[in-house]
Structure 1
Amino acid sequence: MLRYILGKIVLMLISLFLLVSATFVLMNSVPGSPFQGEKALSPAVQANLEAYYGLDKPKIVQYGNYLKNLLQGDMGVSMKKKFQSVDKMIRESFGPSLKLGLSAIVTSVIVGCILGILAAMYHRKMIDNIAMSIAVIGLSIPSIVMAPVLQYLLSTKLGWFEVAGLNGPLDYVLPTIALSAGPIAFIARLLRSTMIEVLSADFIKTAKSKGLSGYVIVVKHALRNSMLPVVTYLGYMTAGIITGSVVVEKIFSIPGIGKHFVSSVIDRDYPLIMGITIFYAIILMVTRLLADIAYVLVDPRMRTGGKVGK
């Protein structure tokens, strides 16, 4: 297991290096200067700003300096946010994004598993039809459409929630629903199809013949053997929720990282774009690693003698 984890970490570092390099090249391939759009900005002031941020140096020198500072934990200074450090901006905005992301992930897993289990236990019955109808709706409507629809129906029309902003825990409800609707539907359908197959297996019939209760059979035997595809999907689900939160945070005016990312792209704030991209990449890589480890732990057949896949 340790060798497996170390191998994954090495691949993560290589992938992160390639991502940093590719992002730097793309950012600097855009013609012009990020300060050209500033109003009443004289050429002298623009030249001083470019010298302050090192944009007047050759690209290879800029790249080397950026890697050197990045290894020291310094992501640079924002070009548009009154010279605030990128590190500080990410730290201050990470709290709301983390709460929203965790809320969406937990909601997706719990609700999706409940719907999938109920649909499998009551296959081809009314509960199955209701659960799958909910899943179809969740898969059909993307978060960028779901968010304004929820705002209109539950906030504007019914007045149950605030339209935007964060003034309390209830303000996380609508963005959580918008982010988790798709993953809930996917998990429900995935778990349903897998569990239906498992429930017809011979070892389930043996468990029933021993007089075990339906709850014990479903939770202890069927669910564990049906969770492997769901665990595999968790890494992709987390990536989808994190990237989707960028738009959802903007729609609901949540002061998270997504809000900074959108504004940084519009303003061509190179250090902030680079910093947030790297930060998102690290989160995605870590969650994928945790999902791989969880998959190995759930399925003992993946390891023999402490080694994976042998």
Structure 2
Amino acid sequence: MIAYIVKRLGLALLVALAVSALAFFLIRLSGDVATAIAGEGARQEDLDIIRQTYGLDRPLVVQYLSWLWQTLRGDFGTSIYFKTDVSSLVLAKLPVTLLLGLTSLLFALVISIPLGVLAAVYSNSWIDRLALGVAVVGQALPNFFFALCLVMLFSITLRWLPVSGSSTWLHFVMPTIALGYYVAPAFMRLIRAGMIEVLSADYIRTARAKGLPARTVIFKHALRNAVVPVVALTAVQLGFLLGGSVVIETIFALDGLGYLAYQSITYKDFPVMQVIVLLLSVIYVLLTLASDIANAWLDPRIRVA
């Protein structure tokens, strides 16, 4: 088990390093940092001074290695637009995004697990078709359009929920539904497929032959084994929710990392963009690593392989 964890940890570090390099070079290619600092109407002499001051006249590889060394030391630079330390700015916005991601994931699991179990137990019935229909709609409906529909219904028509802000729990209701419903179909289909496979196993038939109640067979014996693949998907989807919250946070003006990323893109705040991409990538890699370790702990066959 320790050898497996060390191997996965090394792979995770390599992935994080590759993502940081890719993000750095792509952000640099998207625009000129000196122009973003000095403004569009700056003179060439001023641009040259800025490039020399910030080391932007050096090769990109040298700039990346310098940025990586400063990042490893905890120096994330200063925001061009907000004129403040990037690390404190990002850490101040992170709790909102984490809360939105966790509540969206919880909402997705709450609606997908019962639907997946019902679809498997009543396979090929109208309940199964209804559950699959809900999954298809959730997967096909863009989350930004669904979010706007929620705003029209609950904020403008019914006036039950606030449109924007993040000061109370009511501000998170619509963003949670919009973001969670988009990832729920993946959980539902995985649970349905796993339950159908497990319900046809020999030990399930044996449990039924012993006269165990249907609820015990389904939830204690079948669901416990069918839910193992969900662990890996949960980590992946949580990373997706954190990284994919840019649009939802922008629509509802939630003061989180997603809205900060939108602002940094709008104002070409390159230091903030780099740190947000790096942070979300590292979180995604760590979640994937945690899911691999959890699966290895739950399934001994993975450790043996």
Q: Structure 2 length as normaliser, TM-score?
A: 0.91
Q: Provide the residue aligned with 1:309 in structure 2.
A: 304
Name 1:69's counterpart in structure 2. Answer: 70
Q: Take 2:271 and 2:241, find their aligned partners in 1: how far apart are those partners? A: 24
Q: Which letter maps to 2:81?
A: K
Match of residue 13 from structure 2: 13
Alpha-carbon separation, structure 2, partners of 1:188 and 1:179:
15
CA–CA separation in structure 1 for the residues paired with 2:171 and 2:211: 47
Q: Is the 8 A contact 2:78 2:271 kept in 1?
A: yes
Distance 2:43 2:25 in 1: 28
Give, in whole Å, the separation in 1 of the partners of 2:145 and 2:39.
Answer: 33
C-alpha separation in 2, matches of 1:34 and 1:267: 11
Q: 1:208 deviation in Å?
A: 0.7
Bigger shift: residues 252-261 or 106-115: 106-115
Judging changes above 3 Å, is the alpha-carbon distance between structure 1 residues 31 and 129 closer, same or farther for their aligned structure 2 residues?
Answer: closer
Correspondence list, 1:204-219, <5 A: 204-219=204-219
State the Cα distance separating 1:223 from its structure 2 match: 0.7
Contact 1:34 1:267 in 2 (8 A): no
AA at the equivalent of 1:309? V
Within a 5 Å distance, the mapping from 1:1-310 to structure 2 comes to 1-30=1-30, 32=32, 33-35=34-36, 38=39, 41=42, 46-47=47-48, 49-82=50-83, 84-302=84-302, 308-310=303-305
Structure 1 residue 198 displacement after superposition: 1.6
Partners of 2:23 and 2:290 in 1: how far apart?
25
Question: Contact between 1:35 and 1:46, CA under 8 Å: does it hold in 2?
Answer: no
Distance 2:281 2:49 in 1: 32
Please give the alpha-carbon distance, in whole angstroms, between the structure 2 residues aligned to 1:36 and 1:89. 18
Q: Is the 8 A contact 2:38 2:47 kept in 1?
A: no
Mapped partners of 1:149, 1:116: distance in 2 = 26
Task: Give the C-alpha shift of residue 24 in structure 1.
Answer: 2.2
CA-CA distance at 1:169 after TM superposition: 0.7
- Rounded Cα–Cα distance in structure 2 between residues aligned with 1:36 and 1:285: 32
Q: Distance in 2 between matches of 1:281 and 1:296?
A: 23
Contact persistence 2:37–2:80 (CA under 8 A): no
- What is aligned with 1:305? none
Measure, in 2, the Cα distance between the counterparts of 1:290 and 1:4.
Answer: 12
Q: Name the CA distance, whole Å, in 2 between partners of 1:243 and 1:67.
A: 21
Q: Between Structure 1 and Structure 2, how many residues are aligned?
A: 304
Give the CA RMSD over aligned residues: 2.2
Question: Structure 1, residues 265-298: CA drift from partner, whole Å, max 9, x if none?
Answer: 2222221111111101110001101111222222
**Identical residues among aligned pairs (%):** 34
Matches of 2:183 and 2:41, distance apart in 1: 48
Contact 2:98 2:242 in 1 (8 A): no
CA contact (8 A) 2:187 2:230 kept: yes
In the alignment, structure 2 segments of 5+ residues that lack a partner are none
How many angstroms does 1:43 deviate by?
Answer: 5.4
Inter-CA distance 275–121: structure 2 relative to 1 (3 Å threshold):
same
After TM superposition, the structure 1 stretch with the greater mean CA deviation from structure 2, 126-135 or 206-215, is 126-135
CA 1:102/1:185 → structure 2, altered by over 3 Å: closer, same or farther? same
Name whichever of 219-228 and 54-63 sits farther off: 54-63
Shift of 1:94: 0.3
Change (3 A) 1:34 1:43: closer
CA deviations 1:7-32 (Å, max 9, x no partner) are 11111211222222222222333454
Q: CA deviation at 1:253?
A: 0.3
Could you say what secondary structure the match of 2:35 adopts?
coil
Query: CA contact under 8 A between 1:34 and 1:268: conserved in structure 2?
Result: no
Kindly tell me: are residues 125 and 176 of structure 1, through their superposed partners in 2, closer, same or farther at Cα, counting changes over 3 Å?
A: same
1:137-165 deviation line (CA, Å, top 9, x unaligned):
21121212211111112211111211111
